[in-house]
Amino acid sequence: MIQIRLSHLFAVAGVFAALYLLNALSAILLPFVLGFALAYFLDPLADRLEAIGVRRSLATLTITFCVGLVVLALLAVGLPVLVQQISLIIAALPSYIAEIQSWLLAQNLSQSQSELVDGMGDTLLAGLQSTASSLLLTGLSFINLLALIFITPIVAIYMLNDWDNMVARIDALLPDEHVGVIRQLALQIDETLGGFARGQILVCLSLAAIYAIGLSLVGLQSGIIVGVVAGLVSFVPYVGAAFGLVLAGALGLGQFGFDIMPLGMIAAVFFVGQFIEGNILTPRLVGDRVKLHPVWIIFALLAMGSLFGFLGLLLAVPLAAVIGVFVRYGLTLYVRDYIRRSENG
């Protein structure tokens, strides 16, 4: 009994120590977390290459070369377009704000209301400029950028090459009396996390394409970048569509004025995207086997993001998957024990 209590105390102490280290080292952990995540996602592909007779080292080099080519191709094609779209937004934003202000002032506002509208427009523009400057200057320092560019691929390559060996060593350290349960829980975590993450990435990319193409067809300037951002933010349930609708609607007001037709078409793009996501993309790409409730995901993202920033956002879904598996396992044990006691009593 004492050993069990001591083990529980050590486990709790280990959790608190991990949280302390995560908070203390959050500034330098991002490249390592990203490298680990890349290795985790690419390991099944490396295993398939090994299954057909390719050595692990050669499989790692092949995957790294192919991923590098894909990233370079995406940057070569997409980066100029995104820069152009951002430039269009920055150049058109003052005229959009002036257009909305002029429409509001035309509604026979009083002098105090007119001054309030002018102040709101100036405040909004100043706030956007301040936010952009803050993101550029403090959000991602030059050293952090270099670390992401150079350290992340190195970590990913080493982790991917040694993944099977690391798993085998950890498995060898498991206590014999609990090895079956631990392996079962690990498989459930891997199934939940891998299924959700890989499926959700495909969902986000699909929504980014749907939103970008739809807004471009509507004629919204900078519709590509708005659609891409809205699609990528869709890893938070419902937030991506809401964010994209508000942003696209605001830009649409500045470009089209208060014309119901184009504004309605902008809204229709996001409603169609949500319909496709809920009825086609999520059921096929994520599936029912991934037991992560949207409310639980939103809470995990907000909580971890508040505590650890961007690093917390990356760790939120894995932590939610682990906690979810442990909670379901605990409930299963409780129900099994309750049934056994009912039968014996």
On whether the CB atoms of residues 244 and 227 are closer than 8 A, the answer is yes
pLDDT at 269: 93
Mean pLDDT of 173-186: 82
Categorize the per-residue pLDDT at 255 as very low, low, confident or very high, splitting at 50, 70 and 90.
confident
114 versus 193: the higher-pLDDT residue is: 193
Predicted TM-score (pTM) of the model is 0.69
115 versus 146: the higher-pLDDT residue is: 146
Categorize the per-residue pLDDT at 3 as very low, low, confident or very high, splitting at 50, 70 and 90.
very low
Q: Is the pLDDT of residue 80 over 90?
A: no
On whether the CB atoms of residues 156 and 35 are closer than 8 A, the answer is yes
**Measuring CA to CA, how many Å separate 268 from each of 54, 232, 242, 277?**
49, 19, 12, 14
Token pair of 20, please?
């302390």
Mean pLDDT of 157-173: 88
**Per-residue buried b or exposed e for 188-202, using 16+ beta carbons within 10 Å of the residue's own CB:** bbeebbbbbbbbbee
Categorize the per-residue pLDDT at 272 as very low, low, confident or very high, splitting at 50, 70 and 90.
very high
Q: List pLDDT tens digits, range 293-341.
A: 777 777 887 888 777 777 777 788 788 888 888 888 888 888 887 778 7
Contacts of residue 308, Cβ cutoff 8 Å, sequence gap at least 6: 22, 23, 26, 315
- Give me the DSSP letters along 254-301: HHH-S-HHHHHHHHHHHHHHHHHIIIIIIIIII-TT----HHHHHHHH
